[in-house]
Structure 1
């Protein structure tokens, strides 16, 4: 583990002793107005040695529900560990968050430029600083995301298949679904995996939106994992998931056959059967009504909530194969 001894932890040029709490600044560049941008990194250390856990959100600036989950972890004091260290970065892409845009001002998706470069684009420099200044100090990472473009994700953990520790931690987290998905090239998750860091990627909700069910799922999952690592303060209660998580090996998107006005009737997280009506696409003139039907039986883990869709747009993400 990165910090199991009673030593001084130095992050971004600031030293934090065991038992100390500090807020350090993850700054990369000013705004175009020369206004400085402070990205707070909240660090809490116990006097008792233990693992170091990093909580991140806001890699995409429009995914505010992930930011809300990490905010609650801090506000409720869940991040004050019984042993070890926690590091919270609620908003990594603060430039996108200021404008409620997914990308950086240069149009780049931060989650496609890792591990970054110290002399590259703005997004690349942020990625480089995160990987070189923060990641070497941590053992576990929980990264919080939402669906994009009006698509609402069921609360789920995404991990690669075949990693026992990831599998065990995902089950401990207790989200309704665990989706096995391959690493994307140049993503934060892929880069951390290459560095030997254990990451749970949480997906839930949609961009520009905060949902209480999603937030609670994320916060409760964090408490379960911290409790599993013996880091959670005894003042917090740990809930037992209402149902065992469903492990999804394969899934596929149901796409729009026509353009038009769209209304989903199938609900998120529900189980559907092949041939079930999931929603309908209509035209504005009352002349056309097409019923969207399930191509296979499975669980709905994403629903497109946009009122207008075009031919080929993703409407529903449905499991096709579950782990036995």
Structure 2
């Protein structure tokens, strides 16, 4: 017998059309066009259950060169793993920033960051228009979401969830359900998607893994498993894999920055624990005249690493997450949330 929609399942209106319960739809949001006249549109997949429930956003490609999230969502769509939620609706956007994806770039053509442009404006910059279209068409529909990112500018991130911890029980529960290797307390940034969502009472967590323009197979698998746990927590999937390791929750984190310019090298890898006073690398001049040992002022896990060998003073080298409050003699540097 064919299943029928629950009478309490609401209508779903997106991009000028009504999507009924039980439907699977691919629609395209027209954003703008290139100088050549080529239309730029954003494909949006919608998978609706016959039963009422929350609407979850799975989105990647906010920065066009961050391919791990794009590949994560692509695989789930291709494998049919999102097509039949037990209840509610899944909205999947593999690439939001089509401009950046086409140009292997983090930004849009005007050089602006979409994730610093929310809520946007219909007559603003390209980034602002992308953000505005999202806020008008997608944001009113969703209840929860996962925004997939990677490190940028030759920096890699160990798999991690970022969200506001301890301020909202639902957000804490979503992060715990995802169960990434690390969960960081991350303040809201002005103009970000998370800030715009929180202002409207919608909860979005960020998942980070790997680096831009490079696929991180292990991180993609963790992203997929975490997404399934997230959806199971909301009653939208019946099964999800158990996490392979306990989540390390870190409420404080900081970047260690280069005090000298030169050639940077380190034996460390992301996920390793670094002790206070431990040497974590060397910055040397390119002429063979001197080399400076780098010693950590704090203990914590390496959750971000700069792979660029040529560094300037002030460049971020290591992102350190501190699992417990530091002692009085172990104060974090002042730029604890800088990237």
The question of a shared fold, defined as TM-score above 0.5 by the shorter chain, is answered with: yes
Distance 1:205 1:22, change over 3 A: same
> What are the equivalent positions in structure 2 for 1:5-24 lying under 5 Å apart?
5-24=8-27
Equivalent position to 1:228, from 225, 233, 242: 233
SS at match of 1:128: helix
CA–CA separation in structure 1 for the residues paired with 2:128 and 2:264: 37
Q: Is residue 96–residue 103 contact of structure 1 (8 Å, CA) maintained in 2? A: yes
Aligned to 1:177: 182
| Deviation of the 1:289 alpha carbon | 2.3
| Deviation of the 1:38 alpha carbon | 2.9
Aligned to 1:213: 218
| Deviation of the 1:245 alpha carbon | 0.8
SS at match of 1:157: strand
Once superposed, what is the RMSD of the aligned Cα atoms?
Answer: 1.7
CA–CA separation in structure 2 for the residues paired with 1:116 and 1:249: 30
1:116 aligns with 2:117: no
Aligned to 1:245: 247
CA–CA separation in structure 2 for the residues paired with 1:323 and 1:253: 16
| Deviation of the 1:284 alpha carbon | 2.8
Q: Is residue 109–residue 123 contact of structure 1 (8 Å, CA) maintained in 2? A: yes
CA–CA separation in structure 2 for the residues paired with 1:67 and 1:323: 35
> What are the equivalent positions in structure 2 for 1:67-216 lying under 5 Å apart?
67-80=70-83, 81-161=85-165, 162-216=167-221
Q: Tell me whether 210-219 or 76-85 shows the greater mean CA deviation.
A: 76-85
Q: Output one character per residue of 1:118-142: Cα deviation in whole Å (capped at 9) or x when no partner.
A: 1111211111110111111111111
1:43 aligns with 2:24: no
Q: Is residue 194–residue 203 contact of structure 2 (8 Å, CA) maintained in 1? A: no
Q: Is residue 117–residue 127 contact of structure 2 (8 Å, CA) maintained in 1? A: yes
Q: Is residue 277–residue 295 contact of structure 2 (8 Å, CA) maintained in 1? A: yes
Distance 1:302 1:98, change over 3 A: same
Aligned to 2:30: 27
Q: Is residue 246–residue 322 contact of structure 1 (8 Å, CA) maintained in 2? A: no
> What are the equivalent positions in structure 2 for 1:249-264 lying under 5 Å apart?
249-264=251-266
Structure 1: unaligned runs, 5 residues or longer: none
Q: Output one character per residue of 1:103-160: Cα deviation in whole Å (capped at 9) or x when no partner.
A: 1101111111100111111211111110111111111111011111111111111111
Q: Output one character per residue of 1:158-209: Cα deviation in whole Å (capped at 9) or x when no partner.
A: 1113211111110110101111011001111100000000111111111111
Q: Output one character per residue of 1:234-289: Cα deviation in whole Å (capped at 9) or x when no partner.
A: 5xx52221222111111111111221122221120111111112122223333322
CA–CA separation in structure 2 for the residues paired with 1:231 and 1:197: 18
